[in-house]
A and B are shown apart, each in its own frame.
Chain A
Amino acid sequence: MTRSTVTFDSPWRTSTILVTSLTLPGGNRGLLFVRAGPYLEWRGPSFASVAPGSRLTIRSRDVDPRSASLLNDAQALGLTQVTAIDVADVVFFDSDLAFEQRVAIEEVLVDPLLQTATWQPPTGGIDTELLPGVTDPAAQAVALAARTVGLPDLEVATGMHFDVRGDIDDVTVSLLARRLLANQVIERWATAPIAPSFIDSHATAERSVDHVAICDLDDDALLTLNKERGLSMDLAELHAVAEFYRGSGREPTDVELETLAQTWSEHCSHKTFRALISTPDGTQIQPLLQQLRACTDAIAAPFVVSAFVGNAGIVTYHPGTTVAVKVETHNHPSAIEPFGGANTGVGGVIRDVMGTAHDPIAITDILCFGPTDIPADELPEGVLHPRLVQSGVIAGVADYGNKIGLPTVAGAVIYDPGYTANPLVYAGCIGVAAAAPPLPGPQPGDLVVVMGGRTGRDGLRGATFSSATMDATTGDVAGASVQIGDPIVEKLVIDAMRELHGLYTAVTDCGAGGLSSAVGEMAEGIGAEVDVTIAPLKYPGLRPWEVWLSEAQERMVFAVPPHHFEALLAVCARHGVEAVSLGTFTGDGVLRVRAGDLQVLELDTHFLHDGRPQRSMIAELPTPYRGEPTLPECDDLADTLLRLLAHPDIASKEHIIRRYDHEIRGATVVRPLVGEGHDGHADGVVLARPTDTHGLALGIGVNPWYGLTDPERMAHAVVDEAIRNIVAVGADPAKVSLLDNFSWGDPRRPSTLGDLVMAVDGCCAAALAHTAPFVSGKDSLNNEYLGSDGQRHAVPPTLVITAMAHVPDADLVVTPDLKRAGDVLVLVGTTAPEFGGSHFEMVGGRIGRAVVPAPDADAPVRYRRLHAAMQTGRVRACHDVSEGGLAVTLAEMALAGRLGIRVETLPHDHAPTAWFAESNGRLVCAVAADDVEWFVAALGEPATVLGVVTDDAALVIDGITIDDVVMRTAWKGAAQ
């Protein structure tokens, strides 16, 4: 049997494909393959024999919705001459399939009501194929399907086919393929038909070990080695390594050097947060991590079980139950492969929670993108268009969260030119567990068990990659640093772990650094010996160091007493989860890695974890303006409000939120979208299991624009915002846990570090003021891009605060949507002309000398009083005041409730301040008219009785009327 090709004589760029007959020798049978419509061109087949192999091209019978979306993207990227892109899926087989085999495969893969298919390769258009080794669940499924129907084992690869129409030339085609159709980090493309490549299933790898000469190198040579091997170490660290090996009387093996680089990376060891910092005048500053810990210790909240240790923070709000919470960043991978980067960011943070033996219950995501309307030719070289970054990241988050079966609940999406080259992706996870004594940790003799996904070349050197500055070639060289997730595998591990309690003494996830980090961390002080050749591989041919350092996803490492191993394997088998023992924890404090008989690593775990010299760094502290502000001017209050509602940061995010399943588990009591039309943004979300009366609230605070001028006030403001958001939905402000996530530029620049120092100061002050302890945090530094223009592009200082708190009664939650006409609106908190970094400024407001909103010392008391008032059930609606100020808050409450508002009293004499200032500590509440006196007395001063809720379809402030429809159009129309 040979493969047959239908040849057209028309040039590919104007032809479309797609002809097959029912009787071709290629084996098409009775399915209807001829695509209707004006594109059909039958020129009659001629057959040419090509390389062995078969490809099945599958198309949608109805319009494939992916086509329209691709066309939109192409036009947005400036390729306006493209008029249509038709999409098809392709499955490649490495062998010629017999007629009966093709029949059997089609029966499995093609739904005749929905699809058409052909075995004829196209003669034009663009083909893409996933690179061999990239996680490809579809190919795995085809192979499984083939086995199910009794076909022999087949090598399978998958890809896509695109027919492009329009007045286009080869240059356009190439641009289209590179910018839109194929991400060359994970895919390759060619004019169809592509010659597919398959995993070499017979590859072998030499079991060898190289020694790297380092002991006698001078500084220049050390730095060269550092660069060549991508170690991301500094000179002091290189010296420490060289000295250690000089003392050992030998050179390091390549595996040892890589392991040290991973373990000592910024990503894994947080060297900046542990560094000795001093200012240029010699003032010493306590290491930042120590400051945050000290602040948690000082608060001494009784509900904190474990803070800043292990994979996640752990608290208890309800007897018998603990809650684990963690937020991570996955910025660099998301910059070069948005789908995979965000996808595995979610998968990774879920594993962090699994690594504390908690059962994940919900996901959060905070995303920062460049402006999605930036012209493609203004992008720095090598940078993906923010529009594609955004769609890829959102699809990646949705894919992982939806498939693993966790609700994606709280989040934020913000835009700034500073994120164009460096998008930020924060993903968080919450888990619950029955309260239990802490795991004892690995004991000598326990087995080193790796469970879950198989190991491939995925993500090699991810930790050192994420700790380095990117440049225009990053996307090319970092291919191996990117991983694609397989959420189903991780879900099966979660399912298995529910039945593994008591069978292990320690668990951690395989994240950055792979086994080297996971086993290395677990073996700290006790030692372990493992044989990497035992690890199940996705494909053969991996060298020992590749197995040891691979960041293949969905893997957990357990310490398992030998007598429990059988029981553990039985649970895993029931759930279809692979688990193997790679070796044992030894008790001698030495980490040894073998490949069969060959030892490739022998390291004292003490040196591995404590041998890194502490960094000394210089911080230049910022001096923000905090004097008297200028009162801003505003010619048209109503128009400014509309521009604020349309600003991408404030406008409706419904189009994103609805891509995530926030309903699964039936526990999302306050959803991210609320109100009469289910389209208002909630301040925070509340989760409560159907069988529980109490629940948990989650809120987010983020405002990089404050940080540009006053990072200390910024930090205080975002802590206050995160707490305000959960108080607004009914959470108890006395039981708040905080997480800090810093994404910053290169801290070796003293001014950047100075900003970080002040932000940590602000965090600590705010946490103490609110008696809300930090329980976990993470820093992602070096978020900079070295453009081909030679300039460094750093992200704005972006601190994301996640607040989690107890909700005593899930039936008493409060949402921002107005409930009924006649209710009275009360603003609590003080309004001052604070416009520094405000959205009023971003939409063109003239602010003169401005100050970033100052901390409100009365906010903690106010929040506790408000919570007490809410517990009576008499607060009908509540919404915090943040970006855009009071006017935006009121508009959002009215729109969400499909009601109007008439405001008669403003909280400040200066109208622009009353409408748009962003002072901290403020919330707007709706109460029944009879309850106003009670509410104001309960909350105490300052409180402003603003006005009433009306049946009118308008917001009327101080005599200025803004129509409901106009506001809604502004708010929903700017959807990016």
Chain B
Amino acid sequence: MSTPQAIVLAAPGTNRDHDVAFALELAGAAPRLTLLAELLADSSVLADAQMLVVAGGFSYADALGAGRMWSLQLTHGVGDALRGFVAAGKPVIGICNGFQVLTRTGLLPGALGHNSSGHFQCEWVRLDAPASRSVWTQGLDPIECPIAHGEGRYVHPDPAALAANGQVAFTYTGTNPNGSLDAIAGVCDESGVVLGLMPHPENHVLARQHPRHARGSAAGLGLPLFRQGVRYARER
């Protein structure tokens, strides 16, 4: 199988589905934009896919807390199919709102609270990918990309244990923009196939997208992350 099919899942209010689909295409996958209602109506689309992306945005307007309504729909509607997808070892990534959703479904540890600033923030961050279990981040160089969220403060009862268990997949270096515990920007599940992160690597897949491109000092493309996920899905 040369071109893995990636489901890019969008709930009402998801808005970075097209951005991540573009990144996946550049990375060699065949993205398939899928509305939540379509998945709920027929979860067999998951069986045909090799990757799953829970895209960013404001699903259900983030009413009642970011990602809550979407995770509820997933858990009640296609919980088994989703767990089956993960159990089969197919890579899953949740970005921003997708990360919030995956923590609320229990597929990823921890939770995401309001930024310590109390409001939405849009700025570029630098991410390190420490050694972890994640199949997405093996050998990954640091990434520079934007954050765009109001609820991205990562919370976990025992972050040290999480790190020791190889589940901290990304950390903010330099500035910790939102008050996340131990500057955690992304985590994976115990199997390593499910990754969640708050920043948006899909918005830095071309050098021109970097804010310092005009200065000649663009660095840290996000594309390798998607390439790594696609490679894993292909070679698995």
Note whether A and B form a binding pair.
Answer: yes
Decide yes or no whether A227 CB sits under 8 A from chain B: no
**Nearest A residue (CB) for B67:** A111
Inter-chain contacts of B18 with A (CB < 8 A): 665
- Nearest Cβ distance between residue B68 and chain A, in whole angstroms? 7
- Is B123 an interface residue, CB under 8 A from the partner? yes
Write out the residue numbers on chain B whose beta carbons fall within 8 Å of the beta carbon of A395. 119
A138-B63 in contact (CB<8A): yes
CB of B102, distance to nearest CB on chain A (Å): 14
B61:A403 contact, CB within 8 angstroms? yes
Interface: A381 (CB within 8 A): no
Nearest CB of B to A720, in Å: 24
Please, which residues of chain B bring their CB within 8 A of the CB of A674?
211, 214
Q: Is B15 among interface residues, defined by CB-CB distance under 8 A?
A: yes
Task: Report the bound CA distance from A141 to B206 in whole Å.
Answer: 37
Q: Are A659 and B15 also in contact (CB < 8 A) when A111-B104, A402-B58 are?
A: no
List residues of chain A with CB within 8 A of the CB of B85: none
List, in ascending order, chain A residues with CB within 8 A of B60's CB.
Answer: 137, 141, 144, 488
In the assembled complex, the CB of A701 is this many whole angstroms from the nearest CB of chain B, namely 23
Complex contact B61–A488 (CB within 8 A) = yes
Q: List residues 658-672 of chain A with CB under 8 A from any CB of chain B.
A: 658-666, 669-671
Residue of A657, A663, A664, A671 contacting most chain B CB atoms (<10 Å): A663
The reply on A437 being an interface residue by CB < 8 A is: no
On whether the beta carbons of A114 and B111 are closer than 8 Å, the reply is: yes
The reply on B73 being an interface residue by CB < 8 A is yes
Stretch in A265-273, A529-537, A605-613, A813-821 touching the partner:
A813-821
Q: Is the CB of B65 within 8 A of A663?
A: no
Which residues of B (186-218) have their CB < 8 Å from a CB of A?
200, 202-206, 208-209, 211-217
Cβ-based interface call for B22 (8 A) = yes
- The answer to whether B113 and A659 have CB atoms under 8 Å apart is no
Q: Please give, as numbers and ranges, the residues of chain B lying within 8 Å of A486 by CB-CB distance.
A: 61
Confirm or deny: B35 has a beta carbon within 8 angstroms of a beta carbon on chain A: yes
Is A68 a contact partner of B206 (Cβ separation < 8 A)?
no
The answer, yes or no, to whether B64 is at the interface (CB within 8 Å) is yes
**A111-140 CB contacts (< 8 Å) to partner B:** 111, 113-114, 137-138, 140
Q: Bound complex: CA of A486 vs CA of B63, how far in Å?
A: 11
CB-based nearest B residue for A670: B214
Judge whether A111 and B65 touch: CB under 8 Å. yes
Q: Which of A65, A148, A661 contacts B115 (CB 8 A)?
A: A65
Cβ of A810 < 8 Å from any Cβ of B?
yes
A690 pairs with B209, CB closer than 8 A: yes
- Residues in B with CB closer than 8 Å to A814 are 214
Min CB distance B57 to A, Å, is 6
Bound together, the chains give a CA A68 to CA B117 distance in angstroms of 10
State which residues 168-224 of A face B: CB under 8 Å.
Answer: none
- A685-719 contacts to B, CB under 8 A, are 688, 690
The interface centre, meaning the residue of B65, B69, B216 with most chain A CB atoms within 10 A of its CB, is: B65
A666 touches B205 (CB 8 A): yes
What B residues does A60 contact at CB under 8 A? 113-114
Partner of B120, one of A402, A666, A813: A402
Give Cα A665 to B18, complex, Å. Answer: 8
* Residue from A108, A673, A688 with most neighbouring chain B CB atoms (10 Å): A108
CB–CB A142/B64 < 8 A? yes
User: How far does the Cβ of B159 sit from chain A's closest Cβ, in whole Å?
Assistant: 12
Q: Which has the most chain B C-beta neighbours within 10 Å: A402, A404, A671? A: A402
Contact with A along B96-126 (1 / 0, CB 8 A): 0000000010000011011111111111100
CB neighbours of B120 from chain A (8 A): 398, 402, 659-661
The minimal Cβ–Cβ distance linking A820 to chain B, given in whole angstroms, is 9
Please, which residues of chain B bring their CB within 8 A of the CB of A819? 215-216
Residues of chain B lying within 8 A (CB to CB) of residue A669? 208-209, 213
Given contacts A403-B13, A492-B12, A576-B37, contact A690 B114 (CB under 8 A): no
**B64, A138: Cβ atoms closer than 8 Å:** yes
Given A140-B63, A658-B121, does the pair A148, B72 have CB atoms closer than 8 Å?
Answer: yes
Q: Assuming the A-B contacts A488-B13, A574-B35, A659-B122, are A64 and B63 also in contact, with contact meaning beta carbons closer than 8 angstroms in the complex?
A: no
**Which residues of B in the span 64-78 have a Cβ within 8 Å of any Cβ on A?**
64-65, 68-69, 72-73, 76
Residues of B contacting A487 in the complex (Cβ-Cβ under 8 angstroms): 58, 61
At the interface, yes or no: A575 with Cβ under 8 Å from chain B?
yes
Q: State whether the Cβ of A904 lies closer than 8 Å to any Cβ in chain B.
A: no
Name which residue of chain A comes closest to B124, CB basis: A678
Q: Mark A478-496, 1 if CB is under 8 A from B, else 0.
A: 0000000011100110000
Q: Does B19 contact A (CB under 8 A)?
A: yes
B148 adjacent to A661 (CB under 8 Å): yes
CB-CB < 8 A to A66: which residues of B? 118
What would 24 A/B residue contacts be, using CB atoms closer than 8 Å?
Answer: A60-B114, A64-B114, A68-B118, A113-B113, A140-B63, A141-B61, A141-B64, A398-B119, A402-B58, A402-B120, A403-B62, A488-B61, A574-B35, A574-B37, A658-B121, A660-B122, A663-B148, A669-B208, A669-B209, A670-B214, A678-B211, A810-B208, A811-B208, A815-B215
B contact set with A: CB distance below 8 Å? 12-13, 15-16, 18-19, 22, 35, 37-38, 57-58, 60-65, 68-69, 72-73, 76, 104, 110-111, 113-124, 146, 148, 155-157, 200, 202-206, 208-209, 211-217
- Having A109-B68, A486-B61, one finds 11 other A-B pairs with CB under 8 Å, namely A60-B114, A137-B60, A141-B60, A141-B68, A145-B72, A149-B76, A488-B58, A574-B37, A575-B35, A666-B203, A678-B123
